[in-house]
Amino acid sequence: MQKNMTGTRLVATFFGAGLLRPGPGTWGSVAALPVAWLLHVMGGFWALALGTAVVFLVGWWVTIQETRGQSDPDPSEIVIDEVAGMWLALWPVSLGAMIQGVSITALWPGWIVAFLAFRAFDIWKPGPVGLADRMHTPLGVMLDDIIAGALAAMVVAVFAVIAHGMMGI
C-alpha cells in the first residue's frame, strides 16, 4: 500500500531510504552514515550521542503514528530504527576520534566493523535483539535496533583493542 509522503512517513523512512529495495534496512543503515559523520564533525561524540537519543525518541513516536491501525507492527520501510542503531554502533569510533583528536574518517576500519556488526545483529536477532523484536510494538521496533547497535558497538570496541592495543596499530 503506497502512502503519501507525510512528515512522519518522511522521518520513518529516513527521507525515503526505507523505500529502496531490496534490503530497506541496509539502505537505512547506509543512509545513516553520512549524517553520523556530519553530526560528529559538527559536535564530536556528544553531538552523535545526543542525535542518537533524539532519533530514538522521535523514531518511537513516528513508528507509533505510522503503524497505528496497521496489521504489520514493523513495516520494512520504517528504517528510523536502523538509523538510531547504526549511530549507536558508531559511538566507539566517534569517541575514539574525539579523544585522539583525529578525523573520524581516519578510523575507517571502525566504520566498516560497525556497519557489518550492526547489520549482522539486526538480521540475525540473537538473544535480547530477538526478544525486543518479538514485542511487536513501536517500542520493540526501536529497541531491537538499539540493542543490535549496542552489541555492534561492543564488537567495534573489541576490534579497536585488538588493532590498537595488541597489534599497536
Question: How far is residue 136 CA from its own chain's centroid?
Answer: 19
Measured CA to CA, the distance from residue 72 to residue 84 in angstroms comes to 21
- Which long-range contacts (C-beta less than 8 Å, at least 24 apart) are formed by 57-60? 58/11, 59/11, 59/12, 59/83, 59/84, 59/142, 60/138, 60/139, 60/141, 60/142
CA quadruple 147, 120, 28, 36: dihedral, nearest 10: 70
In the chain, alpha helices (H): 7-12, 24-67, 80-89, 91-100, 108-124, 127-133, 138-160
Q: Identify whether the C-beta of residue 84 lies closer than 8 Å to the C-beta of residue 146.
A: yes
Q: What is the pLDDT along the chain (169 residues), one digit of tens a residue?
A: 455 679 999 999 999 999 999 999 999 999 999 999 999 999 999 999 999 999 999 999 999 999 999 999 999 999 999 999 999 999 999 999 999 999 999 999 999 999 999 999 999 999 999 999 999 999 999 999 999 999 999 999 999 999 887 665 5
* Residue 169: predicted pLDDT: 56
How far apart (Å, rounded) are the C-alpha atoms in residues 44 and 98? 6
> Which three cell numbers mark 21?
529495495
pLDDT at position 168, please? Answer: 58
User: Would you state the pLDDT for residue 147?
Assistant: 98
DSSP 8-state symbol, 166: I
Gyration radius of the chain over CA positions: 16
Q: What is the model's pLDDT at position 163?
A: 87
Q: State residue 1's pLDDT score.
A: 40
